[in-house]
Copies of this chain bind each other. A is one copy, B any other.
Amino acid sequence: MPDKKLMPSWLSLEEALERLLAFFEPLEREERPLLEAVGQVLAEDIVSPLDVPTVTNSSMDGYAIHAADTSAAGRQTPVTLPVDGYVAAGHVYPHPVAQGHALRIMTGAPIPPGADAVVPFEDTDELEQKEQGAQAIQSVRIYHEAAPGANIRGAGEDVRQGQRVLARGTVIKPATAAVLASLGLVTAPVFRRPTVAILATGDEVVAPGQPLGPGQLYNSNSYGLAALVQSYGAVPKLLGIARDTVEAVEERLAEGMEADLVLTAAGVSRGDYDVVKDVLLRHGEIDFWTVRIRPGKPMAFGALVGTDRRGRPRRVPQIGLPGNPVSALVTCELFARPAILKMLGYTQLARPSVSAVFHGSLTNPDGRRTFARAILERRGDSYHATLSGGQGSHILSALALANALVVLPEERPSLRDGELVQAILLDADIPG
């Protein structure tokens, strides 16, 4: 990072993001219980400690036999074999199956030595005997010739001991948790979830639940940012609200020195009370502070340099987000999300986006890339985007209704009804 001069830069989103992401790496490895690890990323390859299935077993309910004994069996020419016994999954039949004999076997039960095929119930007189009230079946008629290996799953057929089952970098989904459990694992080696400290600033900002004085407003940013950070898979830590003095901001930020990332909201513009940038200048390093985007032009990125509670030296990255609620949440999406995903070990850092037909009108007077709050829906095979409400950076309701951000590039001064546009998906469930 450059030195402590506060040079107002004027960066493109790509330049800003590249500088910011260079600061982050996947965090250290930890072992997490499977259910808590969903959404985290494997920090190492998973090699199977066992064969799956562990032993050769039956894939059907039926009779384990020697295949050769069934040659020429047919509906009119059944082969009748004495039934020696009976084995269910989870149990081991203690004898081999002799030539000319059958063993009644249930799905998943180990195939005893001797037997080399399973004849399913429907190819025998099992059901007829049951319907006639037979309690234990003494002998069975086989109506169909069995090929050697029929209805048998070999040991290690699914997974071989020593085989790499999952690669480092795999995102753990519910089915991945099931795969890990099937190997006998109760924890997964994953990159640690980052802790993200969140500080709101402003003399006018009051915590929800408290009475509101004239000219004051409730702290919505901390809750919106914490909810976003949590949705990305990080652990939010609320540092509360700092008044607009360097001392108040410093005091609160000291509690953030244990975190992996600090987000501040407000205080990074050029007003008299924009003290967050002053704190960064005094106690840290500051990088860019203006990006060519709307909403969210005033932005700072830097590092807080200090010590944690135990006195260990720390250099904690800080993103100074703008104070307007929509700007704060959209810039969190654009900058904090990829940073958090990178710390979690993700390699796919961008949200998916689709090409959509735009409905409405939008202007871009000053060449900033504009991220408009929109409702995206699918009609047939095409996507359609409509503005979700007023585009002022204080109008939170339009962001709450939005499931996408429509992107108006720097060089495009306006967007008219029916034109094609890229839309970044904020939600999985796009209606249509």
Hey, which bits of chain A sit against chain B, CB under 8 A? Answer: 34-35, 38, 50, 52-55, 57, 61, 88-92, 106-110, 153, 158-159, 165-166, 173-186, 202-205, 208-210, 212-228, 230-231, 236, 244, 271-273, 325, 329, 348, 351-352, 354-355, 378, 381-382, 394-397, 399-400, 402, 425, 427-432
Q: Are A271 and B432 in contact (CB under 8 A)?
A: no
Specify which chain B residues have a CB less than 8 angstroms from the CB of A38 in the assembled complex.
227, 230-231
Q: Are B399 and A202 in contact (CB under 8 A)?
A: no
Cβ 8 A contact of A218, one of B90, B153, B181, B430: B181
Q: Are B54 and A90 in contact (CB under 8 A)?
A: no
Specify which chain B residues have a CB less than 8 angstroms from the CB of A53 in the assembled complex.
217
Check A224/B174 contact, CB under 8 A, given A54-B217, A217-B182.
yes
Q: Are A352 and B431 in contact (CB under 8 A)?
A: yes
Q: How far is the CA of A325 from the CA of B174 in the complex (A)?
A: 12
Q: How far is the CA of A174 from the CA of B225 in the complex (A)?
A: 7
Least CB distance, A288 to chain B, in whole angstroms:
21
Specify which chain B residues have a CB less than 8 angstroms from the CB of A325 in the assembled complex.
178, 182
Q: Are A202 and B396 in contact (CB under 8 A)?
A: no
Q: Are B272 and A178 in contact (CB under 8 A)?
A: no
Closest B residue, CB atoms, query A50: B212
Q: How far is the CA of A382 from the CA of B230 in the complex (A)?
A: 32
Q: How far is the CA of A332 from the CA of B217 in the complex (A)?
A: 45
Q: Are A400 and B173 in contact (CB under 8 A)?
A: yes
Chain B CB within 10 A, most for which of A53, A178, A223, A225: A178
Q: Are A218 and B183 in contact (CB under 8 A)?
A: yes
- Return 22 A-B CB contacts under 8 Å, by A number: A34-B223, A35-B226, A35-B227, A38-B231, A61-B271, A89-B204, A108-B202, A173-B227, A173-B400, A174-B228, A175-B224, A175-B400, A177-B226, A177-B227, A178-B329, A179-B220, A181-B208, A182-B325, A184-B208, A184-B209, A352-B432, A355-B381
Chain copies in complex: 2
Specify which chain B residues have a CB less than 8 angstroms from the CB of A179 in the assembled complex.
220, 396-397, 400
Q: How far is the CA of A181 from the CA of B328 in the complex (A)?
A: 14
Q: Are B400 and A90 in contact (CB under 8 A)?
A: no
Q: Are A216 and B90 in contact (CB under 8 A)?
A: yes
Closest B residue, CB atoms, query A227: B174
Closest B residue, CB atoms, query A54: B212
Q: How far is the CA of A185 from the CA of B351 in the complex (A)?
A: 30
Check A110/B181 contact, CB under 8 A, given A227-B174, A352-B432, A400-B175.
no
Specify which chain B residues have a CB less than 8 angstroms from the CB of A109 in the assembled complex.
204, 215
Least CB distance, A259 to chain B, in whole angstroms:
17
In the complex, besides A34-B208, A158-B397, 10 extra interface pairs with C-beta distance below 8 angstroms are A54-B216, A91-B203, A106-B271, A106-B272, A166-B400, A174-B227, A178-B399, A182-B396, A185-B209, A186-B209
Least CB distance, A311 to chain B, in whole angstroms:
31
Chain B CB within 10 A, most for which of A159, A173, A221: A173
Cβ 8 A contact of A184, one of B212, B272, B329, B400: B212
